Structure 1
Amino acid sequence: MSSEKARTAKWLIGFLALSIAAVCTSANDAPAGGAPYQVKDGNKVDPKTLNGWKTWRALACERCHGDQQQGLVGPSLIESLKHLSKEDFHTTVMNGRPEKGMPPFSGSAMVNQNWEGLYAYLKGRSDGKIKPGHVYPMD
């Protein structure tokens, strides 16, 4: 076999090995259906989602939306995230809904840095994939 063919064969074998490894990754660890989060065992999440949960906690969002996102004076985020797009979520969080009592969070550095993680966490809760309560980093 010529050196050109040998290099091509090695490249192809390497590519196939990586492709097979990607396909064989546990479905429990990979985002389901393009989900913005990764979750394992219901309470272990990817770093971005973990930072979203930390943002939720730091801003005490449970005061209005409930400790399990079920809604109190603010709406249930479990239900809202079933139909709210990521873009609409961003607009709502950044601009607030002052007429309904929700302040804008565009001035918060933590929210600006972690809003996508917050969306991921709440989407995972809404999808029923992330359990209520404390979440932890994935192994």
Structure 2
Amino acid sequence: MIRKTLATVVLAALASTAMAQEAPYKVAEGNKVDAKTLMGWKTWRSAACERCHGPNQEGMVGPSLIEALKKYSKDEFIGIVVEGNRAAQGMPPHPFLKGEKIDALYSYLKGRSDGKIAPGKVTAME
């Protein structure tokens, strides 16, 4: 009886955590994404992030963002990108990415990191 109750509590906590951590992106067929995530891909392209992080976010001079987004929270990501919290490692601040742009960029990169968004061009969901 106690085990059953404990299991129920643990499952409820896990479900609550999963809902609280809902993905910040929507994707279908690997490359069709919601408007915010599409804006994130466009931000990625316009900021030329691939110069350091590679065209598929797997790293070059800069680290793999596929791996980085597995360990950094959204707030940590924003600090690194916008404020340049990794300037000593070669990541300068990008204050022009504040607000809506950084939120959208995070959505796109998180989808790539989670393996839900395929590498390459993305298009709008229909």
TM range (shorter): 0.7 to 0.9
Q: After the TM superposition, which segments of 4 or more aligned residues of structure 1 sit over 2 Å from their partners?
A: none
TM-score, scaled relative to structure 1: 0.73
- 2:124 alignment partner in structure 1: 137
Which structure has the larger Rg over C-alpha atoms?
1
CA–CA distance in 1 between the matches of 2:87 and 2:71? 21
The amino acid across from 1:90 in the alignment is: I
The amino acid across from 1:76 in the alignment is: S
- 2:7 alignment partner in structure 1: none
Cα deviation digits, residues 92-135 of structure 1 (max 9, x gap):
111112211111011x1xx1231011001000000000000000
How many equivalent pairs are there? 105
Alignment gaps of 5+ in structure 1: 1-30
Q: Does 1:124 align with 2:120?
A: no
Identity of aligned residues (%): 59
- 1:103 alignment partner in structure 2: 92
Q: Does 1:63 align with 2:51?
A: yes
Query: Deviation at 1:51?
Result: 0.5
TM-score, scaled relative to structure 2: 0.80
CA–CA distance in 2 between the matches of 1:81 and 1:56? 15
- 1:45 alignment partner in structure 2: 33
Aligned to 1:130, the other structure's residue is in SS state coil
CA–CA distance in 2 between the matches of 1:99 and 1:82? 22
CA–CA distance in 1 between the matches of 2:117 and 2:91? 25
CA–CA distance in 2 between the matches of 1:86 and 1:42? 22
Coordinate RMSD, CA, aligned: 1.3
Q: 1:73 aligns with which of 61, 64, 76?
A: 61
